[in-house]
């Protein structure tokens, strides 16, 4: 898992898996930067705890979720949360 800052577009790129093993670190990093746009196109795997974390930062840190990878799109659809992430603009 990695979180890279993209200076040009002022957004963060989250890559690799987002599962129970990563959520602690990801939570800390993302809560420290409220209001950012988070690019999810590099997320290879996402479980329930990953989804829960995305819901949290969206709700409490105002993080905008964008460009969900297939793995993310799939679970958002499954849970009736497709509106949570935006298509890339």
Rg (alpha carbons) of the chain, rounded to whole number:
11
The per-residue b/e assignment along 60-86, b for 16 or more CB within 10 angstroms, e otherwise, is ebebbbbbbbebbbebbeeeeeeebbe
Binding residues with another protein: total (CB under 8 A): 28
Show the binding pattern over residues 15-54: x = contacts another protein (CB under 8 A), - = does not: -----x--xx-xx---x---------------xxx-xxx-
Candidate list 13, 33, 45, 64; residue touching another protein; CB under 8 A: 64
Nearer to another protein, 36 or 81 (CB): 81
Query: CA torsion sign, 31 to 38 to 57 to 26?
Result: negative
Query: CA torsion sign, 19 to 21 to 27 to 30?
Result: negative
Is residue 55 close enough to count as binding another protein by CB under 8 A? Answer: yes
**Residues that bind another protein in the complex, under the rule CB under 8 A:** 20, 23-24, 26-27, 31, 47-49, 51-53, 55-57, 59-62, 64, 75, 78-83, 86
């Amino acid at each position: 898992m990695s979180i890279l800052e993209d200076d040009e577009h002022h957004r963060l790129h989250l890559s690799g898996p987002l599962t129970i093993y990563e959520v602690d670190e990801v939570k800390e990093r993302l809560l420290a930067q409220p209001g950012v746009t988070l690019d999810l196109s590099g997320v290879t795997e996402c479980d329930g705890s990953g989804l829960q974390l995305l819901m949290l930062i969206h709700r409490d840190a105002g993080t905008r979720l964008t460009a969900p990878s297939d793995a993310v799109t799939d679970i958002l659809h499954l849970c009736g949360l497709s509106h949570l992430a935006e298509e890339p603009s």
